[in-house]
Structure 1
Amino acid sequence: MVDLLRRAKMDNAKPVATPMSSSQSLTLQSGDKILNATEYRTIVGALQYLSLTRPDIAFAVNRLCQFMHQPTTTHWEAAKRVLRYLAGTIDKGIFFSSSAVPPTLHAFSDADWAGDKDDYISTGAYIVYLGRQPISWSARKQGSVARSSTEAEYREVSDTACEVKWVASLMAELGLSSASTPTICCDNVGATYLSANPVFHSRMKHMALAYHFVREQVQAKQLRVSHISTHDQLADALTKHLPRARFQNLISKIGLCSRRPS
């Protein structure tokens, strides 16, 4: 991270509290086209690698990556804001405790319906936890336009179920087992209801694969989809730009903290 800030000449930049401004929405047309986009692509590529250990910048990096083909001055300013945020949180990271905790597997799944104002495709995100530590996360655009918030949320529940199933399989190979049935926490009532409803609604036929994939695991008691309030949805920080107070509250709950002395 320090090398990245030095390379971009941002190691002494004024810090900011969030990686993205809550009042600005990036679009393809915002700003003036950059003639030489090499620096932008280099910095954003490095940020993409850094997001593997920093879930707090996952959404911002995902947005910046969508303008690689034709970045503008506005996109470049947004990239520098992420660097300014990192300059102020250089001591932050995920802390893994060595204390014995039952290896319960659970995840948070969320989607920002039609969040991209260029094509109205939703952004989905999940965070998978083993005990109290986040071990996997993702923030990315979905494959196509969702016709309702329930559809967008349920698609992300399906993607989260895939990741949870893979982690559970890996744990089994290592001789570990979850202390309880893996749970996906979703803040959409419709998506939660669909995962437990044995009747397949005709209006959801275009989601048949996602529906039956999740339903199969729920019926086999290999997975549980639980409803939570939007206030407690930790994956919300990976689907949209948030005000400072809300962002910092969620990031602290996710598990990002100052590094402990060695």
Structure 2
Amino acid sequence: MVLFGYNQSSSDNTLFIKKWQGKITALIVYVDDMVVTGNGEEEREALQKYLSREFEMKDLGALKYFLGIEVSRSKGGIFLSQRKYALDLLHETGMTACQPIDTPIEEGLKFCITSDQVPVDKGRYQRLIGRLMYLSHTRPDLAYALSVVSQFMHNPEEQHMKAIMRILRYLKTNPGKGILFSKNEDYSNIEVYTDTDWAGSLSDRCSTSGYFTFVGGNLVTWRSKKQHVVARSSAEAEYLGMALGVCEGLWISFILNDLGYPSQQPIQLYCDNKAARDIAHNLVQHDRTKHVEVDRFFIKEKLDEKILELPKIRSEDQLADILTKAISSRAFTKFLDKLGMQDIYTPA
């Protein structure tokens, strides 16, 4: 790719970009599969001929299916889902006729290893986790539930397997649910929603952090993950989560810059914890902040450079809430609608 005039992105080593005469062509590769896009038809054809001389290739035409992800187009935008994969998984696990359920994890449910629970087949448990993890590429609604059950892969018990079965029952409700990327003139605006459930793990009292990132109003990345350290206050836990969200927002801004669409506005980071926002603006803190010293200066630096802003947000509008805790089905459905998740296969 470099010999053919392409530049390898410094932010993603699998992304190659060529800008020529005001047009851009981009190629992203995963092992032996690749996707080419751009606004220069001649360059795309030249690239295809060049790669065909170097490798045995097959042109599959317009993108419809890539790594198990189905791609559909309409006037409203581009829709990504894994409907076939989800249906195959339900069939393989014998859950095709199961009773559907509204949420992937029971409201308020927390797990820990106990001594009175019955162990289950660890190999089967790990295989199911792996299959479900693959679905999370287009299903942010599964992120928190999978983050929880994956913590018990080395010592699963009956309660954990029941949680896996609940996720499959939830999957039965909308196997075709996915993400719609709609057209938006403000295409380079970056928004990050971060939230943390303080000391939520009963096993070790670590907190769970989560973030959603949006570009031009469209959801592009998300994560739900237990923190590696025990936070001594909710403000400290929230601040660690904010730092992860800032890093993700910066990475996305680097990708946009490589593509020739630099963000014209500061990254908007939404955190509903007032103490954490106050710490970010004021470095004169004491016991509450000495355990997150590096993160404090990192975020303060981005604020001073006008790369980052911390607008206020109400707790009821914090989308990342579903990445850190199990909530009611009503609130869960409301947040999924705001994330732009749809099921185009559901009859109107």
Normalized against structure 2, the TM-score is what? 0.72
Q: Does structure 2 conserve the Cα–Cα contact (< 8 Å) formed by 1:44 and 1:65?
A: yes
Question: 1:24 and 1:119 mapped to 2: Cα distance?
Answer: 16
What is the CA-CA distance between 1:30 and the residue it aligns to? 7.5
Question: 2:82 aligns to what?
Answer: none
Q: How many residues align?
A: 261
Question: 2:292 aligns to what?
Answer: 207
What is the CA-CA distance between 1:23 and the residue it aligns to? 4.7
Question: 2:224 and 2:143 mapped to 1: Cα distance?
Answer: 6
Question: 1:158 aligns to what?
Answer: 243
Choose between structure 1 and 2: higher strand proportion: 2
Query: Which runs of at least 4 in structure 1 moved beyond 4 Å after TM superposition?
Result: none
| 1:159 counterpart SS class | helix
What is the CA-CA distance between 1:21 and the residue it aligns to? 0.8
What is the CA-CA distance between 1:200 and the residue it aligns to? 4.7
| 1:66 counterpart SS class | helix
User: In the alignment, which of 91, 94, 110 is matched to residue 176 of structure 2?
Assistant: 91
Which structure 2 residues correspond to residues 66-105 of structure 1 after superposition, within 5 A? 66-105=151-190
Q: If you compute each CA radius of gyration, which structure gives the higher value, 1 or 2?
A: 2
Which structure 2 residues correspond to residues 99-248 of structure 1 after superposition, within 5 A? 99-201=184-286, 203-248=288-333
User: In the alignment, which of 39, 61, 71 is matched to residue 146 of structure 2?
Assistant: 61
Root-mean-square deviation (CA, aligned residues, Å) is 1.6
Instruction: Tell me if 1:44 matches 2:129.
Output: yes
AA in 2 matched with 1:206? H
Question: 1:70 and 1:37 mapped to 2: Cα distance?
Answer: 7
What is the CA-CA distance between 1:227 and the residue it aligns to? 2.3
Using CA pairs below 8 Å that are at least 6 residues apart, which structure has the higher relative contact order?
1
Question: 1:218 and 1:24 mapped to 2: Cα distance?
Answer: 37
AA in 1 matched with 2:112? T
Question: 2:4 aligns to what?
Answer: none
Unmatched 5+ stretches in structure 1: none
Question: 1:226 and 1:156 mapped to 2: Cα distance?
Answer: 16
| 1:29 counterpart SS class | coil
Q: Deviations over 1:84-106 (max 9, x none)?
A: 10111112110112454432101
| 1:167 counterpart SS class | helix
Choose between structure 1 and 2: higher helix proportion: 1
Q: Does structure 2 conserve the Cα–Cα contact (< 8 Å) formed by 1:30 and 1:74?
A: no
| 1:139 counterpart SS class | strand
